[in-house]
Structure 1
Amino acid sequence: MTRLRNYFLTGFIVCAPLAITIYIVWSLIGWVDSWVRPYIPHRYDPDAYLPFHIPGYGLVVAVVGITLIGFLTANIVGRSIVSFGERLLNRMPLVRGVYKALKQIFETVLSNKSEMFRTVGMVEYPRKGVWSIVFVAGEKETEINARLDKEGDPLLAVFMPCTPNPTTGFLMYVPKSEVVILDMTIEDGAKLIVSAGLVAPEYKAKVISVNGETIDGTIANPTLAEVAQGANQPALRSRTGSSRPNR
């Protein structure tokens, strides 16, 4: 019975992430289709000619349309049209603030030269001796640094995400000397936060050998096979222990 339970848990660990991923992707495709398909002319919709529904057609049209807009914006005529549209938006009191903020966020996040959230760190919060994971936005010359940097210790803008939803959190400015920079990537840090510490990334630590040479040692998470094998060991030990005669 114990072995069957371990097999079920191992299969659940394999199937659950796959099923959730398929569900999220399928929901995203359906959401984009519901937005784009009503604007596609009837004669260009394959559902009008085929006896079955083709999912994802609206997503393909959206990707092609966005790419075409980017291509047109790259030339002089496209830039002129975009500049004219931005001038119109800048004349609207409420709309211009929202548009400028969203545009700056997207340009910062999607820019290849952006250094936003490239480093994972730790700060002592909410009290001394308790550490929290943060995403370091970088050290930039801002008014905050100019007013608060009194001891030559620059301030780092760090974002402290919440668990299990890393899209919400707190923005803090912490002295650089109080931030411990980690070697893990942003993706590994996000996995650590979303899983509430259950999924820890691999860590290559420097291990000193007997001869004094420094080598790399990897501390990794157990694989699914190792988890299943470790779960089966208690049952195996119970069977072997019961078969041994008492001396």
Structure 2
Amino acid sequence: MRKYFITGLLILVPLAITLWVLHAIISTMDQSLLLLPVEWRPEKLVGFKVLGIGTILTLLIVFVTGLLAQNFIGNYVIKAWESLLQRIPIVSSIYSSVKQVSDTLFSSSGNAFRKAVLIEYPRRDCWTIGFLTGVPGGDVVNHLKGDFVSVYVPTTPNPTSGFFLMLPKDEAIELDMSVDAALKYIVSMGVVAPEHLPTK
């Protein structure tokens, strides 16, 4: 009896969590419908709320924004908008910080999360997986002797929080493992192990 119950949990819990996350994402993206006049909203036109219409609208807005930003006029408007935001005291610091992070994460030329590494953390003989995010910069470089790398160590099972470390390059062992496989390994708390590769 207990065996069947656990088997049922192993099947239904991941499915329930997946559906819950998808519902939360779609419900959040559906908020873009609030930009439309009341007369144009689906519940006004068909008489009931249609889940997912706002998601399509959000994706369309993102696509059109990217399309417009590629031409001269759109690029000029974006620069003017960013220049305006930079002049607002509190907004400028928040916007510039978020933009730097998003440019690093989503830019095709960015180096964030390009490689999974194995490091000793939080103490010697205790190992964890982290992600290379680049090299230290600014005045930090003046206080570090030798080659250092910047590493993000995510927490388990929530990888959106974690620790930022700067450690000697020779102490970060590059893994022959994709970022996706490493994230699955971390989120599953080691249950979903990546494929075993022969030693080089």
Query: What is the TM-score of this pair, normalised by structure 1?
Result: 0.73
Query: Which AA in structure 2 matches 1:188?
Result: A
Question: What are the within-5 Å matches in structure 2 for residues 160-171 of structure 1?
Answer: 160-171=153-164
**Is the CA contact 1:123–1:133 (under 8 Å) kept in the aligned structure 2?**
yes
d(CA) in 1 for partners of 2:126, 2:45: 63
Aligned to 2:147: 154
SS of aligned partner of 1:204: coil
SS of aligned partner of 2:198: strand
- Unaligned runs of at least 5 residues, structure 1: 208-247
Q: How many residues align?
A: 200
Moved more, 170-179 or 9-18: 9-18
**Is the CA contact 1:122–1:181 (under 8 Å) kept in the aligned structure 2?**
yes
Which of these two proteins has the greater Rg computed from alpha carbons? 1
d(CA) in 2 for partners of 1:17, 1:176: 38
CA deviation after TM superposition for structure 1 residue 109, in Å: 0.6
Query: Which AA in structure 1 matches 2:127?
Result: W
Aligned to 1:58: 54
Q: CA RMSD in A?
A: 2.1
Question: What are the within-5 Å matches in structure 2 for residues 46-125 of structure 1?
Answer: 46-125=42-121
Query: What is the TM-score of this pair, normalised by structure 2?
Result: 0.88
RCO higher in structure (CA 8 A, sep ≥6): 1
Moved more, 63-72 or 188-197: 188-197
SS of aligned partner of 2:100: helix
CA deviation after TM superposition for structure 1 residue 12, in Å: 2.5
Match of residue 192, structure 1, among 180, 185, 194 = 185
Query: Which AA in structure 1 matches 2:9?
Result: F
- Unaligned runs of at least 5 residues, structure 2: none
**Is the CA contact 1:122–1:182 (under 8 Å) kept in the aligned structure 2?**
yes
Aligned to 1:30: 27
Match of residue 174, structure 1, among 167, 192, 198 = 167
CA deviation after TM superposition for structure 1 residue 143, in Å: 4.4
Deviations 1:54-111 (A, max 9, x none): 1111111111112112211211111111111112112122211111111111111111
CA deviation after TM superposition for structure 1 residue 140, in Å: 6.3
Q: Sequence identity of aligned pairs in percent? A: 34
Query: Which AA in structure 2 matches 1:174?
Result: L
